[in-house]
Structure 1
Amino acid sequence: MIKINLLPHREEKRKQLKSDFYGLLLLSAIVGALVVVMVSAYFSRELTTQNDKNAFIKKENAKLDERIKEIATLRQEIAGLKARQQAVEDLQGDRNQPVYLLDELVKLTPEGVYLRTLKQEGQRVVLNGYAQSQDRVAEFIRNLGAKSDWMYKPDLDDIHSAALQTGKDSKKVFEFQVNVSIKRPREKEEVASQTGETTVNKPGAP
């Protein structure tokens, strides 16, 4: 027997296809929403983790800044203590400078030169005196610059002829003023150590 389907099968097929299409569309929307939620949750977790790391780094940086400030303060205090210690050592060493200075002046002042006054201003000494000639003054300055262990950089500030009264007579001489720098004991020791020399204390030195 031959069966003939008189129902509108094409229309039914179209409805089925449309229903399947909407089902797939809904499933895709659900899957897309789940993906968006999962990705958002992942990035949110990563952002939270990164924020926690940033907060930790900021906290540690603040601690380091405080330690750096403490170290800088300690360095300043150490520098101040060293400066005060150096000042005390310089004062103790400077007590013997007049002895060394006078001892060297006796040795380095050539014949024909007479020192009238000696004045110390810090680490500079002003020498005033008389000389028989300008050559004697030049020799004196050379001695101060080349042969002295304690004096250096002599500078002739003034020289002029003058009349020196000796009893009833007057004698023509040259009056001069020389400025010269003097070393502290520690500076002399530093120079000696750099040149490989051995520092030997003079008689009366501590």
Structure 2
Amino acid sequence: MIQINLLPPEHRKRQKQTPIGVFILIILGTIFVVIMIFGYFLLEQEIANKNSKLKNAKEENAILNSNLKEIQKLEEEIQKAKKRQKTIISIAKSKIFWSTKLYEFASIIREGNHNVWLESLEVDEKKFKAKCWSKGLSEANVARFRRDILNHRSFFSIFEKMEDYKDLKPKEIQYDPADEEEKENLTFTLVLKLKPKPKTPQTTKKKK
């Protein structure tokens, strides 16, 4: 059905029109939203790039730290090797026949029936250091072993004194299950201090 408005224009109802300001606000709002979305994705991309660079930097830093630790380890090993080399030279220059002394020390362990075993041995220009362990928890075997060393004139002749041990402690040794040996043992470190080298007398030149 077609409706025709026959009223004069001045009596007709005016249709509501959207003000121009509202259109401008809508356009500006749309532009703002687009800018915000675009800025968000730009920042997201920047964050991703920064994270990638940070990850690469951390990996490079880890490699550098690893290389630095390896260098420090090698330097420490070189210093230890130089120290051992110096010790060997010092021992070689000394007038002590270490082969004889080591044989005498082994004889004390073997023939003394102390139930003492040698674990490791260190010798330098100042001391003789032996890490040992004794079967069972009786300290009497250790005391007898130390006494026999002190009483062995030939072996102990190059030493100034025997230091007190401070690390005597029990240690479990794994034996064969069929073996009835005692599993509890005592470990200790034997330290013998070498006598100082005699000073070479200095000769004074006579004045003419």
Q: Same fold (TM over 0.5)?
A: no
- Structure ranking higher in strand proportion: 1
| Structure-2-length-normalised TM-score | 0.44
TM-score by length of 1: 0.45
Larger radius of gyration, structure 1 or 2? 1
